[in-house]
Structure 1
Amino acid sequence: MKKLSIVDIANELKVSKTTVSFILNGRAKEKRIGEDLVERVTKYVEEVGYKPNSLAKSLRTGKSNTIGLMVEDISNPFFASIARLIEDRAYKNGYKIIYCSTDNDTQKTKELINMFRDRHVDGYIIAPPEGIEDDVEQLLKDGLPVVMFDRHLPKVNTDYVEIDNLFSTYNATRHLIQQGYKNIAFVTFASSQTQMMARVQGYKDALKESRFTPVVKEIVFNQDEEMIIKPMTAFFKKHKDLDAVVFGTNHVGTCGLKIFSTLGVKVPDDMAVISFDDYDVFKLYSPPVTAIAQPVDEIADNVITVLLKKLNTKGVSTASHSIILKTNLQIRGSSSGLKD
């Protein structure tokens, strides 16, 4: 069945499409359209079950009441939790969310931004990959609010919400040193994104203080988990003197635990473990894994609060916010001290 348009309604009732449009948009009184005609159009619309095209409506009003949310991977528990909380807050404020995963792919992200532009989304929440600086600048130039989270683009002046990545890994590494561990590795995904560089730096700073040698392994991200596990396995086989490891993300952490199980490495007797991003799997592991817990509720709350403020003051120039939140080191059995 063909979807009815305003033109079809106008033709059927033999009135102008402009008149129909004014009635459907609640502007009949303003345009002094007679009550009889308003009733006739309203009754007909109810009978045929006409629903206005939301895209066409957004072109008329300049507002779609949707927000584009772009994360690295929507299936990752960290991003999924934040997305869910943002969706709830947005919905209560009259906005719907369109999600997508960028896979940290610059070209894919550029295409997704274009798709959101075609859909006339009102604002953007992005965990950005590198290389989209020009695209974000263009959004800002066109008056579209952008809030970044988890990481930011140093060359772009926009709002962002992050955690204190440097202190988080510094604090976690210090905990291992205080427990008596000396040969501590840092294993993470290779990245020059702000949050990942800060995490490596925090680890290095803690080791430098104690005059220990850093051992950093950066893995190239791959959708195929086997391509992550392979180089990590080779790394742990090569560095048999390691007694502790800090994993830079929960994905790397879960891969690491699988490797230890395969290699027969006992946690914490052979290897103490701390991972970034707390995760249910870490609590269920035996022994439970010490993790750097991000304040997910607080991140989501700040992100949507900043974006809604921008949306509600559109056209008014407001200063960019840089919100840095604290993490919590959840100490569990995987990092208990060395036995004498």
Structure 2
Amino acid sequence: MVSIRDVANLAGVSIATVSRVMNKREYVSKNTEKKIIRAIEELNYVPNPLARGLVGKKMSSIAMIVPDIMNPFYPELVRAVEDTCHKQGYTVILCNTDDKKYKEKSYLKVLKGRGIDGFIVASSMLDKENIATLEKENTPCVFLERLPCDKPRSLIQVDNFNGSILAVQHLLDVGCNRIAHIYGPQEVPTYQERMNGYEEVVKSLPWYTSSYMIAGDSQMEGGFKAVEKILDRHPDIDGIFAGNDLMAIGALKALQRRSIRVPEDVAICGFDGIAVTIMTEPELTTVAQPIYEMGELAASTLIGKINGDITDEDSLYVLGVELIHRNSTMKMRKT
């Protein structure tokens, strides 16, 4: 069996030099690199997928890091990334972190050693140390929705602030007089922006106090529990804006459990536009993100960076949103 020592002997270099070339960790002269690659080809040395990538100069693989694959938003997003990458000859490795920092760091450690060409990151758990490592190795990255630090990056997001204004104003327009907000984790900028949009609309209204805002955990269960708490505080609410569709679905279930009619007694609007919102009863009004377009743009931007067609590290794409009016906010009939 051919070993890395055989490659080093044929190329006339040390094992450490072969390892540096294979792992792309330190600078090796072009001539030395060519000798090593020639030796790999001649000996047909293939210890793992990395060697095949070296011979072809790149792996044609990208990694996509998502925080919660159980959230229906992310499978829709991943599908768009995979479709776009497949057309360009790239494969996609999916990494689910459950929003846990140690899992994200573990994925990066493993994948960097396997010659991944670039990363699409839909998470804010990366720390400055990991970002610095990616920068040192010139690993192309594109971030979705949230940045891991305050330095300029290639970022794709939607207009969360104005989308929330759209949602809350819609609830007022259909006759709501007291609107609660179920917000997601505030360490995530997306949810901060959506809360700010809510406050922008209601802060000057005579009934408003901060007690109309209640924390959820971005899941259906969080929306359910939030409604239980908000009704204890303000049983007179007649509108709910949830920071994402999953929390809105949980809120709908909690209201129905209490025999509170939607939308006649309380109207509900979510945010994201995931497909499951047309399966609820009543169907859920939502501020829809262009999910597929986001995935397409992320993949095409990353591939452009890998191929050297895009060199601007400071690119920012802000996509628009659309209010989809469904039965959960139909004009209320007061009885």
Same fold (TM over 0.5): yes
Query: How many Å separate the matches in 1 of 2:67 and 2:169?
Result: 29
Pick from 113, 123, 133 the counterpart of residue 138 of structure 1. 133
Whole-angstrom distance in 2 between the partners of 1:221 and 1:208: 23
One-letter amino acid matched to 2:322: N
Distance 1:302 1:221, change over 3 A: closer
Q: Which amino acid aligns with 2:183?
A: T
Report the counterpart of residue 263 of structure 1 in structure 2: 258
Instruction: Tell me the alpha carbon deviations over residues 177-207 of structure 1, each in whole angstroms, 9 at most, x when there is no partner.
Output: 1222121011022222221110000111011
Matched, 1:206 2:201: yes
1:148-183 deviations in Å (ceiling 9; x for gaps): 012223513210100000000001101111222121
8 Å contact 2:156–2:317 — kept in the other structure? yes
For structure 2, the residue ranges without an aligned partner over 5 or more in a row are 12-33, 36-40
Quick one: structure 1 residues 82 and 172, their matched pair in 2 at CA, closer, same or farther if it must change by over 3 Å?
same
**Residues 251 and 324 of structure 1: CA distance in aligned 2, closer, same or farther (over 3 Å):** same
Residue in structure 2 matched with residue 324 of structure 1 by the alignment: 318
Letter matched to residue 216 of structure 1: M
Answer yes or no: is the 8 Å Cα contact 1:133–1:155 preserved in 2.
no
Q: What is the one-letter code of the residue matched to 2:170? A: H
Aligned residues: 302
The separation in 2 between residues aligned to 1:303 and 1:246, in whole angstroms, is 28
Of residues 173, 179, 186, the one that matches 2:174 is 179
Q: Structure 1, residues 44-85: CA drift from partner, whole Å, max 9, x if none?
A: x9xxxx987422223555522110100111232211011011
Q: 1:168 to 1:105 in 2, by over 3 A?
A: same
The equivalent residue for 2:162 is 167
Q: Is the 8 A contact 2:155 2:315 kept in 1?
A: yes
Q: Does 1:77 align with 2:72?
A: yes
Equivalent position of 1:284 in the other structure: 279
CA contact (8 A) 1:249 1:275 kept: yes
**Alpha-carbon distance between aligned partners in 2 of 1:78 and 1:247, rounded to the nearest angstrom:** 15
Alpha-carbon separation, structure 2, partners of 1:219 and 1:289: 18
Matched, 1:58 2:53: yes
The 8 Å contact of residues 49 and 114 in structure 2, kept in 1 or not, is answered as no
- The secondary structure found in structure 2 opposite 1:285 is coil
Q: CA deviation at 1:232?
A: 4.0
1:86 matched to 2:70? The reply is no
The C-alpha deviation readout for 1:194-235, integer Å capped at 9, x for no partner, is 21110000111011354551511112467xx65764454233
Q: Confirm whether residue 338 of structure 1 aligns to residue 332 of structure 2.
A: yes
* Residues in 2 aligned to 1:54 and 1:337: alpha-carbon distance in whole angstroms: 59
Which amino acid in structure 2 is aligned with residue 255 of structure 1? G
Identity of aligned residues (%): 26
The residue type equivalent to 1:175 in the other structure is H
TM-score by length of 2: 0.80
2:28 matched residue in structure 1 = none
SS at match of 1:259: helix
1:295-306 equivalences under 5 Å are 295-306=290-301
1:216 is aligned to 213
Amino acid of the residue matched to residue 217 of structure 1?
A: I
Q: Which amino acid aligns with 1:322?
A: L
Q: Give, in angstroms, the shift of residue 318 of structure 1.
A: 2.9
Give the distance between the partners of 2:116 and 2:248, measured in 1 at CA.
Answer: 35
Q: What is the CA distance between 1:334 and its match in structure 2?
A: 1.1
Segments of structure 1 that go 5 or more residues without pairing to the other structure are: 11-15, 19-29, 32-37
- Look up the SS of the partner of 2:156 in the other structure: strand
Instruction: Give the SS at the match of 2:203.
Output: helix
Q: Tell me which structure has the larger Cα radius of gyration.
A: 1
Classify the secondary structure of the residue corresponding to 2:177: coil
Distance 1:51 1:153 in 2: 35
Q: Relative to 1, partners in 2 of residues 1:232 and 1:268: Cα closer, same or farther, differing over 3 Å? A: closer
**Contact 1:140/1:146, CA 8 A, preserved across alignment:** no
In the alignment, structure 1 residue 240 sits paired with structure 2 residue 238: no
CA contact (8 A) 2:152 2:313 kept: no
Residue 114 of structure 2: aligned partner: 119
Q: Which amino acid aligns with 2:314?
A: S
Taking only aligned residues, the RMSD between alpha carbons, in angstroms, comes to 3.0
Following superposition, the deviation at residue 305 of structure 1 comes to 1.6
